[in-house]
Amino acid sequence: MSNVQIMTGNQAAAIGAKLSGVQVVAAYPITPQSQLAEILSQYIEGGELKAEYVRVEGEHSALTVCISASTVGARVFTATSANGLLYMHEQLHWAAGSRLPIVMCCVNRGVGAPWTIFNDQQDSISQRDTGWIQIYCRNNQEILDTIIQSYRIAEEVYAPIMVCYDGFVLSHTMMPVDIPDPEKVREFLPPYQAHTILSPEDPRTLNAVLFPWRRANSEGVLCDGYMEMRYKLQAALERSPAVIQETSRRFAEVFGRDHGGLSWGYRMEDAELIMTGMGSLASEATQAADILRDEGIKAGVVGIRVFRPFPAKNLKETFRGAKGIVIFEKGISYGYEGALSSDLKAAFYGSENQAPVHNYIAGLGGRDVKARELADAARASWAEMQTGIVEKPTTWLNCYTG
């Protein structure tokens, strides 16, 4: 029997964490994430969730607590936004380098300065090279389901996961969400089997300073140097796409919902003009595709669900046959272009995917992005592509640039 309730994205995230059986929560309030931390504290105080809630003085400490708790064998959860995520930067590297299966929600918000409390994806995009898997959600149902999936993925590959969803656009917007049966979740997500159990009988030093070369320990066993540790983290992320896809397939089998694994498509059966992006922006583009279809343009949408590790192999196949690609992004790699645009072009290099690519920066700092505006931009790019304009300077959508 389904249990559908109307809830915000933050509520969906809190329920996802509760259903996942987290044992330690440490978070520091920051808009628009604060509601998520508050709901979890209520679950714990009320006895609905048997976990420890650790109050901390800031985001750096929140992730430090999660690192410590995960190291001793607990399933942990935290969440943050914007500058809070930036405060965590050092510990993001530490969590990934320690190969800890931490799951964290990043409720996407623009970063200062100047200050904004509103949405874009610059915060998580700027942390893409810290060794975390990044998954972007397009609606509240996907937020809940992705958190549950993320623990299964993280605990198989031993890498942390950042579940990203747009602040206010999703975090505070109410939608119908089907809450899965707790018993089914427990069957899908078995208890965490930690790989870093500590005990007085087996004392050890974790994350000691490593030399550049491999070196024998006190027992004569040849141990990895720093570079081998970096290689193993990279190898884990490289094999995670297969784990993500299998987890998504298994989740769909058990719960009847498939969010696409690495990416999802809309009206792609004969699409010539493909719009792409991440999160709610890609979801908005589906309406733009409908507008363009009504005008006779064969438009479709590819939503990038997993940004790190970047699913280059999957996307090369997904975009095969495109005659034009329009990328919409809520972030920019300053001094160049949107990060997604750069990664897609790199993925297509040397392949048969040589369609024109036009890049649009949209919705920074919460500026509204309407489906008709996406359709207008895609229509204009499609017309330019027909005249041979393969690439043009990155365009700032709905922004005064005079």
| Pick from 50-64, 207-221, 296-310: least confident | 207-221
The structure tokens listed for 4 are: 């559908």
The structure tokens listed for 14 are: 């809190």
Q: Where in the chain is the domain with CATH 3.40.50.970?
A: 4-188
The structure tokens listed for 53 are: 């809630």
| H helix or E strand, kind and range, residue 342 | helix 339-348
| H helix or E strand, kind and range, residue 80 | strand 76-80
Question: SS3 sequence, 92-157?
Answer: HHHHHHCCCCCEEEEEECCCCCCCCCCCCCHHHHCCCCCCCEEEECCCHHHHHHHHHHHHHHHHHH
Which among 134, 152, 170 has a CA at the least distance from the CA of 9? 170
Give the pLDDT score at 176.
98
The structure tokens listed for 342 are: 């750069």
Q: Quick check: pTM over 0.75?
A: yes
Tokens 């809940």 -> residue = 144
Q: Are 374 and 288 in contact (CB under 8 A)?
A: yes
Give the pLDDT score at 197.
72
**pLDDT at 257 > cutoff 90:** yes
Angle, CA 311 vertex, CA 131 and CA 168 arms, to 5°: 70
d(CA 290, CA 298): 9
Q: What is the pLDDT of residues 20-63, one digit of tens each?
A: 999 999 999 999 999 999 999 999 999 999 999 999 999 999 99
Give the pLDDT score at 318.
97
Q: Which residues 6+ apart lie within 8 Å of 156 measured at CB?
A: 243, 247
Backbone angles phi, psi at 97, to 5 degrees: -65, -30
Domain 4-188 falls under CATH 1.10.10.10: no
Burial of 350 (0-12, 13-18, 19+ CB in 10 A): exposed
Q: What is the pLDDT of residues 261-293, one digit of tens each?
A: 999 999 999 999 999 999 999 999 999 999 999
Give the pLDDT score at 200.
85
Q: Are 263 and 318 in contact (CB under 8 A)?
A: yes
Give the pLDDT score at 205.
80
Which among 24, 11, 26 has a CA at the least distance from the CA of 60? 26
Helix, coil or strand: residue 273 = strand
Q: Where in the chain is the domain with CATH 3.40.50.920?
A: 264-396
Across the chain, mean pLDDT equals 96
Q: How many residues does the chain have?
A: 402
Domain 264-396 falls under CATH 3.30.930.10: no
d(CA 54, CA 22): 13
Helix, coil or strand: residue 263 = strand
